[in-house]
Structure 1
């Protein structure tokens, strides 16, 4: 090789290396590189929340902060900007956004086959899309960026908001001068999750909130199994999920109970989710605090409802009114609880609503320092970028705000937002704000002028007395040019030109309507007290905050009921034990238990209740209920054994209170009948106002199975899911139980095995550690399921509905299965044609453990009367009939050691009835759960009055808000959906 050529090439290589290793040609002339420093001096610096430096300086270079402090020397080549009287804050950081990433739209409809994943090489469920990289879909949105910059943001963490596992997001600087490579601060900012399905797939599972929860739970289990190298085939979704576990894990929720659901998942999976809350955490702040999670919180406080029309106002529920009234307290409640939270603009219609919302939150107790941290240091911390963002510290990105004063003051102007050292002018600081009311005197006349939005898009209103004049304004470079007309027909006009200053009067020459020149003087009017008060009323209105109740809905209690020491005197006591019905008997309740039963009992300090002429019974137990749930069916697969009704409990459902008013103290919240193998039940004590954990009984393991028309989809118009026939249902049970046996054998072999929550549940059934309640109607299917159970050596626990139970009662007794039925429902669908009202009596007469259930929110609060019908239809003795809704369902649920009868040592789940309990005249006067009074008929009257008083008070507040000129929203009716066995959800 020619040595000269080699040496020349080597010099060129070195030169390229020294000069920045550019690998692309520059053909646009002489390239100029700015290496200057910029020094901002004499400003009030706010390097971080709670820290202030007066007369400070900030030095930046190459998009980074070089130093900030009291005395910063300016390098020789520095550009110096004097910010005397102004403030500098770090720019805000948005932690949760889909900025620049378009969310795919759904382009299909209807149901789909239960599996039908569309992607090979990825997770079996299409709604898990952990391999998504937001960078691949990102396109910088100048319009959205401008809105965020003007709201004070310098950085955004954005992602593809689609699916359950949404992949990794990116961290973007809102630098419109840069290119994508320069703006990207991190190509992997966080990993994102939600309970929402992907718009990119029609795969039907999951179709419910409990299905989504179960799928995410299984997904993390599978990810661990995959990470351990136990799967031969490559799974790009799980691979990406595991690769992103070193990132912050952000989980989007849609309200308080999503928050708690996510926190529960976090505990189960060991993943420390950062929870994107719904803004209603204040309702159960103690439970939120107990999660120990970090939160990203919206501040989208709703407007008052327009309740001027009494008819429209009647649509608005107390719950809706309370949310309007109490929502603004949420940030302060989180602050008071000591929780770490960032603030997001995600739910706001536009980012410019942020400051008004924050100022509203300040009135309700949020501290400005907390808010500043929630917009700067906390988001940076959550994203693992504390060294780079959210402060004015050395080496952080030069993302900062220049303001006229303290950042959250209403009068403060945000002048500039610098991002990566690039200036974004929001309002020209050199433009004098001349908003206000003025008197113009010229040509011997006086006019009234009102100038507004002078620093943005100035407008002017001119009046001659009460006559409004046509007017125009121009305000540029400090010069004010106003033209206003007189009589339009005469085309009269007056024009003035003045140089504005901070003080008036402004003087100059005017051109009058006749073309002559004259002098003018403009003087600013002093605001009257009336105007100031009017403006203050409009902007500073802070309604009285209504106190929280337990739960925070109508009929909620001011304090949570506590177990009391109560002595019932002289009651007719239905023991459901060998003692039978005891006349004029006392019952002592202490520490949540039945302490004593007898005559002439006494107890010091006990609350004594005269029960003379009244009847005391154990609480009613509803074996088949669908109240208190957000969702009933996971219909996306023919087996959903992995889902848990506990994940869908709604503890604020008013039907809990209504059930208590009907004497019900315990329910089994059952999955619906959309599939042969449904979900796991939640057996609950109806502790109105308590937490889900306090309501759901531990160690009561049940699962819902179903037979008949629903599971073979006779009524759905669907032909895409197995099974489609009753014989297919039998085959499905056999297949799944065989799989469960094989799974158990693998688990017990000592070899590595993949934890499968569906198979774990069915394995429990085989081992009789979890009990089946099966939806059933016709005798052939009842026989079929018993035979399947016999073949796998376990017993079915309960057939529910079972309206043809009278045909196979002898076989049921032999198998040992209970029957929980309706008293007198029949002929409401084809497979119920043979139902008779004597069904319960016949099953009982054959030795079947028999109960009456509701399966209906209305019937549930009248089960005492349903029990009475069995006396009419079949002559069941009264004590046995009463057991149909108390002790017998307690036995079915395997909790008869705790409830279902009045026996010393059992839970004090009791009902005091006004008269004979199975009479249509009987009223539950008091309902106790574990010794606490959760329903009292006298207190109920007070609560009714309180509900009306609260609504009236809140209505007055809303009317006042509207009268003061505040924005309102239309009244809208809050529709309550009553759920039953065949209620289907579509989750998107």
Structure 2
């Protein structure tokens, strides 16, 4: 039988339950609920950066804004805070933070063999793809760091684990440092984060390069589409997370303007919208940055001036680095003026304390205050899709700052930072300014006390007559405490304390070291004046250097324009059947070679007297590694998925140097880290233009293959014995396996059945279908024969053997195979074992057998002297001068399937020409003018003027930096920025 409880007991239990629910601590840590209203009156309120209320009232309750306006009804019993003369702003938002999360420990490879497979089971095949990771799981509130962020004006941060190519989701956190931790998390999954930098938590090799990272991201998106279609056989938690998070804001940490453009390129390919975290140098290519249509996150970590007082040390600093110091603070203003939306971030600052200084500096450099405030409030909120932060509209979180005045005024004081309606005091709003000079009477002695520094933390200077006395002052919450030792310490120390009622006169109690007590008074005799130290901190706004294209030495203030030019009476090396024409005119019109002949009419074209000079087609380098940010993707034995076009570096000074040597076109080849390398980039050296505009339109498709020591890792170290192949026999099998796989892939694709899109297989299928050509790094005759036999089995020829230093042994077989070209060095040999049989007659012998022979560089220095390298074939083998010249013009053009466009002087071809001061094969010849499509990208006289301008600009910038140092600005030690010179094996040995 069920028993009933007595009625009184039931009433008691019900009462106890009600009491517990209302007042007992809950499991989530909330002890009480605050229902009262707080009204801030008589303030200038920035509801948004553009909605400003003078003498207004802000009413808040339960961590939210109830109202903001001039006529706000304040409920009875509200806490009213009079902010007469003060300003209220929304607290700042940083959407690219690492607050409260730590990067995983670096997994150094040490003495271990490289890791090729993923370590996570059930996840994507690459460890560096981690969309399943959530910063929320690793987040721990850091009160000390939160205090620094609050002092800088931030109320909300979007924090993530900055590790990996796909880094997972971020967590949106309110920086409330009270014990209401249940309210801090505003969004557990606020955004998805990506980068080009692989995880430190995994030792998995792939990718080893920037282009590899880009290829991996592309393949990941394709795999995610395939997985979403239900085609995958096994479950993949990473791809599931990637698809689940595709609706979140996508934040891409790029870190430089070039990487900004690379990230935007991927976004465009996949119809995505990235929010790109830049590097602070976006102003250098503002037109291209705007064209991305992306929103940006900009750092405020401006570089310090260099200490260039020592002329020798000053010579180490490049003009580009000097300009960066001079120009970088104007980066936010440049984006704002061009209508590019951006948020500002603390990321990249050495110290949070530097934030306000650099923010004001950006404003001084032209950033409008309204735009600056938007970049810290409404824009980051909008990028995250949050309407309840970054503003003080009704219903928004009560995250706001109380300042003494204009936020962007250096002297303005941040008093309080309210987060979720909780008060965080930065400075006492009611502090009395006691700075100035006082007569101090204490212990029967009269002193002079002068207080300088900040109002909240004044610095004392105490004197008795002419004697200066060491002292220490603390001034907090209106209490004045001064400690010093009078009479050189004979009578012990003296402590003065008292509450400041008025700055004009105040006093209190003294205590001596022996315990004797007394009284003291301080009477102001003079007000505070700015000291010389403060004067040192006056605004220093050096004249901003003009941006050039590219923004470094020898960049153009304005991009050169296409011209119509008539060269008169030149010796014309046609590289065609017409041969060398004496005293001949060449008319260039609309970027093309319009006419060749004698006594041509200018027809409005600029006339250049070329008598005694030589006009040739521009030199073409079939094998180059300049103008690239990376060369080898060494993570796998095949990297057919990577594109050299992704990593073109249009700012590489070697482009200009090559132009000075008459080079107009190059093929940027992948290195020789693996048997199957990456896809080539064929570009014109249009100095000053962005990377995308250097690439040949409708460019022929090429890929780099490699044979020999590098691909089988002979010289990579004793631990490099894991990756296949490890022998020359293995190299052959790699080709057989990959071509067979590509053949099967292509057949499946053409069948119309579902298939997983694979960038690597797509590329290899193009080779089999004769849509992409091979340029193969080669040395030894046995391997050359091997590759020809392999490709014959799959019914396509090798297009070009490059290096081909034993080509003289197999030239007849190459001819029979149908090799389009042999691109070789003029006289390199014996620099490693497999080139011991190289001879300087190689080019001439291959030429005599009917092969199309070119001389290439594979070297940044040699590439600007290819005219002289070609001349060596005259000496070594007796090749005629005309045929030697063809080896650097029309012959490489034929190899690259570009001979209908460039490589010779022929009517209708692109006007890529060079005017030489002397015989072009002479060591005395100077390229006076180098034109590409009729645009003078190099002019010898202009170059000399540039050198004078560079010297003058360096002097100006050095003087500016010296002045900056004299004005008390922080400086850094001069350092030299080393140029990278890439070769085939760069980033291979010692990986």
Contact 2:778 2:784 in 1 (8 A): yes
| 1:608 corresponding residue in structure 2 | 607
Contact 1:165 1:192 in 2 (8 A): yes
Alignment counterpart, residue 802 of structure 1, candidates 801, 804, 812:
804
1:889 aligns to 2:888 (yes or no): no
Contact 1:112 1:203 in 2 (8 A): no
User: 1:284, CA displacement in angstroms?
Assistant: 0.6
**Distance change in 2, residues 1:536/1:339 (3 Å):** farther
**Distance change in 2, residues 1:560/1:467 (3 Å):** farther
| 1:80 corresponding residue in structure 2 | 80
1:940 aligns to 2:943 (yes or no): yes
Q: Deviations over 1:775-802 (max 9, x none)?
A: 0000111111111111111111100000
Take 2:507 and 2:19, find their aligned partners in 1: how far apart are those partners? 59
Contact 2:172 2:187 in 1 (8 A): yes
User: 1:462, CA displacement in angstroms?
Assistant: 2.2
Contact 1:197 1:987 in 2 (8 A): no
**Distance change in 2, residues 1:441/1:568 (3 Å):** farther
Take 2:160 and 2:679, find their aligned partners in 1: how far apart are those partners? 34
1:920 aligns to 2:923 (yes or no): yes
User: 1:319, CA displacement in angstroms?
Assistant: 0.9
Q: Deviations over 1:463-497 (max 9, x none)?
A: 45764321122324434343444541634877766
Q: Deviations over 1:102-145 (max 9, x none)?
A: 10111322474463211110000011111101111111111111
User: 1:289, CA displacement in angstroms?
Assistant: 0.5
Q: How does 1:420-435 map to 2 (within 5 A)?
A: 420-435=420-435
| 2:786 corresponding residue in structure 1 | 784
Q: How does 1:462-861 map to 2 (within 5 A)?
A: 462-464=462-464, 467-488=467-488, 490-491=490-491, 500=500, 504=504, 521-525=523-527, 527=529, 531=531, 535-536=534-535, 538-698=537-697, 699-717=699-717, 718-817=720-819, 818-861=821-864
Q: Deviations over 1:19-55 (max 9, x none)?
A: 9989997699996543212222222211000221122
Take 2:922 and 2:30, find their aligned partners in 1: how far apart are those partners? 99
Q: Deviations over 1:638-660 (max 9, x none)?
A: 00000001111111111111100
User: 1:402, CA displacement in angstroms?
Assistant: 1.2
User: 1:932, CA displacement in angstroms?
Assistant: 0.8
Q: How does 1:946-957 map to 2 (within 5 A)?
A: 946-957=949-960
User: 1:421, CA displacement in angstroms?
Assistant: 1.1
| 1:305 corresponding residue in structure 2 | 306
Q: How does 1:23-38 map to 2 (within 5 A)?
A: 32-38=32-38
| Structure 1 SS opposite 2:537 | helix
Take 2:637 and 2:902, find their aligned partners in 1: how far apart are those partners? 34
Take 1:561 and 1:8, find their aligned partners in 2: how far apart are those partners? 97
Contact 2:449 2:460 in 1 (8 A): no
Q: How does 1:208-223 map to 2 (within 5 A)?
A: 208-223=209-224
Contact 2:30 2:182 in 1 (8 A): no
Take 1:744 and 1:854, find their aligned partners in 2: how far apart are those partners? 35
Q: Please report the TM-score for the alignment, with normalisation by the length of structure 1.
A: 0.95
**Distance change in 2, residues 1:786/1:31 (3 Å):** closer
Q: Deviations over 1:565-621 (max 9, x none)?
A: 111111000011121100001111111111111111122332211111000000000
Moved more, 670-679 or 958-967: 958-967
| 1:108 corresponding residue in structure 2 | 108
Contact 2:191 2:384 in 1 (8 A): yes
| 1:418 corresponding residue in structure 2 | 418
Moved more, 91-100 or 9-18: 9-18
Contact 2:29 2:182 in 1 (8 A): no
Take 1:571 and 1:10, find their aligned partners in 2: how far apart are those partners? 114
Take 1:8 and 1:729, find their aligned partners in 2: how far apart are those partners? 91
| Structure 2 SS opposite 1:800 | strand
**Distance change in 2, residues 1:11/1:201 (3 Å):** farther
Contact 2:700 2:896 in 1 (8 A): yes
User: 1:524, CA displacement in angstroms?
Assistant: 2.9
Take 1:192 and 1:714, find their aligned partners in 2: how far apart are those partners? 39
User: 1:405, CA displacement in angstroms?
Assistant: 1.2
Take 1:721 and 1:398, find their aligned partners in 2: how far apart are those partners? 58
Take 1:352 and 1:538, find their aligned partners in 2: how far apart are those partners? 16
| Structure 2 SS opposite 1:955 | helix
Contact 2:428 2:477 in 1 (8 A): no
User: 1:9, CA displacement in angstroms?
Assistant: 13
**Distance change in 2, residues 1:436/1:265 (3 Å):** farther
| Structure 2 SS opposite 1:907 | coil
Moved more, 99-108 or 905-914: 99-108
**Distance change in 2, residues 1:722/1:449 (3 Å):** same
Take 1:662 and 1:435, find their aligned partners in 2: how far apart are those partners? 68
Q: How many correspondences in the alignment?
A: 983
**Distance change in 2, residues 1:834/1:382 (3 Å):** same
| 2:933 corresponding residue in structure 1 | 930
Take 1:903 and 1:24, find their aligned partners in 2: how far apart are those partners? 92
Take 2:863 and 2:361, find their aligned partners in 1: how far apart are those partners? 44
Alignment counterpart, residue 976 of structure 2, candidates 968, 973, 976:
973
| Structure 2 SS opposite 1:933 | strand
| 1:192 corresponding residue in structure 2 | 193
1:367 aligns to 2:368 (yes or no): yes
Contact 1:208 1:987 in 2 (8 A): no
Q: Please report the TM-score for the alignment, with normalisation by the length of structure 2.
A: 0.95
Cα RMSD of the aligned pairs, angstroms, is: 2.8
User: 1:978, CA displacement in angstroms?
Assistant: 1.0
| 1:142 corresponding residue in structure 2 | 143
**Distance change in 2, residues 1:375/1:517 (3 Å):** closer
Q: Deviations over 1:380-430 (max 9, x none)?
A: 0011112x1000111111111111112121121111111111111111112
| Structure 1 SS opposite 2:488 | coil
**Distance change in 2, residues 1:346/1:516 (3 Å):** closer
User: 1:538, CA displacement in angstroms?
Assistant: 2.4
Take 2:521 and 2:231, find their aligned partners in 1: how far apart are those partners? 92
Give the gaps of 5 or more residues in structure 2.
none
Contact 2:440 2:521 in 1 (8 A): no
| Structure 1 SS opposite 2:245 | helix
Take 2:233 and 2:28, find their aligned partners in 1: how far apart are those partners? 54
| Structure 2 SS opposite 1:875 | coil
User: 1:953, CA displacement in angstroms?
Assistant: 0.8
Contact 1:504 1:524 in 2 (8 A): no
